Structure 1
């Protein structure tokens, strides 16, 4: 089918990342959303309505992806056939170690210092210039607003300066869809568990942009629990807490400390790690472990105590994942019996213990586990570029922004942006959706646009 039309929306639609004089109200965003179809402008206009010309254009799509939602500054160039032409990531490992986590203002400054270099390096490694690109994709949410703004500003400067379409990407959707870049046979519908420092999300992916949220975190995400536990145990946080805990846990006894599995009494698919963090902190205090003494300087007995706590924490944290994931798969299979795959992605998905345990859950339910390679599980530009390509093919993108934009305009960034609509049985009374939802979900926006 020819992509000779581009799906456009009104200035207030939340599908756009356009600068706005005032942030649109949710009511206006939903009621004013409409779908206008306009002829594509150069360089995308086709001279004739032939299948071959359309196919050729799809083969030639090259997208620059920019990601700055948290503490990694990332950019990548990806071709529509799945070829990764370049990938560059600048880590803020030293800042993580210094502050024991992400400090938003410091993270913003770090992004600002390296964003130009990272993007240029991605272009250089792809042997391309901005003129060779088809479009620019950038994360607009969810994430830290200060950090998101850096990436959006850079993307808009490039798109405006070189007359390129721009695609606003949902960070968590990108984590799910990158599996389709790696596994060409992965078709909708599929299940996805997205686990990172800021998110725990169980979704049923019915189609591109069509997601049902089966479960989410009601407080802290698993990655946050890993990071805090690593900090309290005096581990090296330069690679984040997850890898440090996983490595130390190999030396410990996972049955030595009896932690309670969170939310056992709640028969839904939501997550909670705040209570487990408290249990871990109390266990560390009872063992009189001093986090100021790094693990490398700990005595043999002290190191073993830390290893036991790390192993016991990891076992309990992942058991919570397993239980929720198992129930979510059963719910999803009732809605979509044709599901064959469980995608596990996000930073925590690079943990080999997590993968092994969830592989057992998948096989128990007759599914195949799919995990992107570790470098594509953590935040990266490849997943943003690929998600941009997927939506570009559907005509979901914005026209080039102005070459110059007023400095006082407000960027459409969405720090708290749900991916899908909540499954009725999965709603949690512990969460206040009215305060948690700043923007309508990506799914609701796309559904509304299709009905216009």
Structure 2
């Protein structure tokens, strides 16, 4: 056995022993709960052990009877909003209308965001103009703990909350009494961190006797793209918009010269951050369908872990560090990485296997160089591994996104795709990229090319032919295996060959050869911030969707909407083509 195999075997044994000891502590918790019980924090593990299995929320407030019906029965956020909307329309409750009448036009919203490790406060006018913003980061704590430490993050939020609030008000030149509405993130996120922001927002709303709105963190990210296309946003005399241009947010398409064309529903959203990797079909405020989610690690989380394995600084997030290193790296100088989920034809993501493969290759390289497992790699190797990881991860994202775009295009004229066309049958022709990873310039370059290519007849035909060729090779291999086992499966193979020939003859529909519009908010809106929370509250107010500050429900785990499975490949009117599985 080689020295490298000895090292890996010893580390694997140590890991098994550690996991065995942890299982004894965790007991019979479900698998996902075991993952959430961090081994580095006894407090987090104890909380999960003592927590009732049926309780998926926490209350800020004493009177549970004040909770409305939709707070108790909803399964996901979209269901929650639909129930609230139905209640407002059917009951004719004038409470919300009374609140709405008291607000001036435009009115001032203060948004608070504490779902993770940033204490953020944003003050926004309802027409989109930024008045003030302040963010207290926890970079030093991130460097110390190698990531987010929940209990330490909570204490930092408590220390920073009042100072951040005062700084935002000072920048806006306002007093607390000048604020007309309070908005705060109520989920998803770390419960201990959410609690700090919600208590501060609740106390402020009750003391000032002004409307209160709870905001879903991922919806706020999604709707921030609509904020970035408001003209008053770019007229703001605030440092947040400095260094960004409107053309970078939304490049013009064809004869369309004004990039500040409002972003209308429906649109496809790619949410990529440290906690989420999702493809979401946004059909309206509070109406979302998840086309694809991550099976394990999120893309931002994978970036952070790879950055730690490479010895890069992770205090400000591992993503920027890996991106900078990858600029000068050569992927061909390191072992090749396999793209995840090549055998699946849906829109789900997976980055855990890719992250583990990179870690294995890093350890192997250290053994080859006679380095200890804790010793840093040479700078050239760090850059090469960073380039290999980033290229493979973004290839995976691009392939999944191409499939989701094909689903939206191929289902436009079918009854099955009725949910894709909303508000008068508008097709989906806009892609929004939000979340912390949206600031990655290589991701933006790839997606710009992808969106433009949807309008190129040559690119689309080439894409179809590639899929047909790969499918043909796959079925030849399957037929050979069947013959070796003595199973001809002739009828099935003939059906596959007919479908492949039909796919090769498939023509691209001219009316669907339109480029997609790409919208990426400025980098300052891509990270967690209070402005996106305030804007999401403005959007909800237009639909009379208020909250109640007397009792606030926190949801650390809160799906944005129901899952809509996407399977197969979709090209024009032949979306229902009886073609066998097509590998990407």
Length-normalised TM-score, structure 2: 0.63
Provide the secondary structure at the position in 2 that maps to 1:424: coil
Corresponding residue of 1:413: 554
Corresponding residue of 1:387: 536
Take 1:44 and 1:208, find their aligned partners in 2: how far apart are those partners? 18
Match of 1:221 among 298, 301, 315: 298
Take 2:372 and 2:308, find their aligned partners in 1: how far apart are those partners? 11
Q: CA deviation at 1:66?
A: 0.3
1:27-81 per-residue CA deviation (whole Å, 9 max, x = no partner) reads 94249963342145877536xxxxxxxxxx5632210000000111100000111
Take 1:18 and 1:227, find their aligned partners in 2: how far apart are those partners? 32
Match of 2:390 among 293, 306, 314: 314
Provide the secondary structure at the position in 2 that maps to 1:153: helix
Corresponding residue of 1:285: 363
1:278-320 per-residue CA deviation (whole Å, 9 max, x = no partner) reads 10100110111667556xxx6xxx1111110000000011111
Take 1:398 and 1:304, find their aligned partners in 2: how far apart are those partners? 53
Q: CA deviation at 1:177?
A: 0.3
Q: CA deviation at 1:362?
A: 1.9
The 8 Å contact of residues 288 and 560 in structure 2, kept in 1 or not, is answered as yes
Q: Which structure has the bigger radius of gyration?
A: 2
Match of 2:526 among 377, 395, 399: 377
The 8 Å contact of residues 58 and 555 in structure 2, kept in 1 or not, is answered as no
Take 2:283 and 2:219, find their aligned partners in 1: how far apart are those partners? 12
Take 1:42 and 1:27, find their aligned partners in 2: how far apart are those partners? 21
Within a 5 Å distance, the mapping from 1:146-295 to structure 2 comes to 146-184=192-230, 185-257=262-334, 258-288=336-366, 292-293=374-375
Q: 1:45 aligned to 2:121? A: no
Corresponding residue of 1:139: 185
Q: CA deviation at 1:424?
A: 3.4
Q: 1:361 aligned to 2:439? A: no
Take 2:315 and 2:57, find their aligned partners in 1: how far apart are those partners? 35
Please, which moves more after superposition, 411-420 or 243-252? Answer: 411-420
Take 1:22 and 1:97, find their aligned partners in 2: how far apart are those partners? 40
The 8 Å contact of residues 190 and 340 in structure 1, kept in 2 or not, is answered as yes
Q: 1:70 aligned to 2:123? A: no
Q: Residues 358, 152 of structure 1: CA spacing in aligned structure 2 closer, same or farther, 3 A cutoff?
A: same
1:171-210 per-residue CA deviation (whole Å, 9 max, x = no partner) reads 0111110110111411111110010001001111111111
Q: 1:126 aligned to 2:126? A: no
Take 1:40 and 1:385, find their aligned partners in 2: how far apart are those partners? 18
Q: CA deviation at 1:126?
A: 0.9
1:240-284 per-residue CA deviation (whole Å, 9 max, x = no partner) reads 100100001112112333111111111110111110111010011
Corresponding residue of 1:396: 545
Provide the secondary structure at the position in 2 that maps to 1:255: helix
Take 1:18 and 1:174, find their aligned partners in 2: how far apart are those partners? 21
Please, which moves more after superposition, 411-420 or 342-351? Answer: 411-420
The 8 Å contact of residues 188 and 205 in structure 1, kept in 2 or not, is answered as yes
Take 1:58 and 1:327, find their aligned partners in 2: how far apart are those partners? 45
Take 1:246 and 1:134, find their aligned partners in 2: how far apart are those partners? 41
Corresponding residue of 1:347: 436
Take 2:169 and 2:391, find their aligned partners in 1: how far apart are those partners? 42
Length-normalised TM-score, structure 1: 0.81
Please, which moves more after superposition, 139-148 or 124-133? Answer: 124-133
Take 1:187 and 1:59, find their aligned partners in 2: how far apart are those partners? 22
The 8 Å contact of residues 221 and 526 in structure 2, kept in 1 or not, is answered as yes
Q: Residues 176, 40 of structure 1: CA spacing in aligned structure 2 closer, same or farther, 3 A cutoff?
A: closer
Take 2:219 and 2:545, find their aligned partners in 1: how far apart are those partners? 14
Higher helix content, 1 or 2 = 2
The 8 Å contact of residues 199 and 221 in structure 1, kept in 2 or not, is answered as yes
The 8 Å contact of residues 201 and 215 in structure 1, kept in 2 or not, is answered as yes
Corresponding residue of 1:107: 153
The 8 Å contact of residues 195 and 348 in structure 1, kept in 2 or not, is answered as yes
Higher strand content, 1 or 2 = 1
1:134-181 per-residue CA deviation (whole Å, 9 max, x = no partner) reads 111100111111111111011001001100111110101111101101
Take 1:155 and 1:377, find their aligned partners in 2: how far apart are those partners? 23
Take 1:94 and 1:418, find their aligned partners in 2: how far apart are those partners? 31
Q: Residues 132, 347 of structure 1: CA spacing in aligned structure 2 closer, same or farther, 3 A cutoff?
A: same
Q: CA deviation at 1:21?
A: 4.9
Which 5+ residue runs of structure 2 have no aligned equivalent? Answer: 1-55, 76-82, 231-261, 412-419, 455-514, 569-584
1:74-100 per-residue CA deviation (whole Å, 9 max, x = no partner) reads 000001111011111111001111111
Match of 2:407 among 324, 331, 334: 331
> What is the RMSD of the two structures over their aligned residues, measured on CA atoms?
2.6
Provide the secondary structure at the position in 2 that maps to 1:421: coil
Which 5+ residue runs of structure 1 have no aligned equivalent? Answer: 1-13, 47-56, 402-409, 428-452
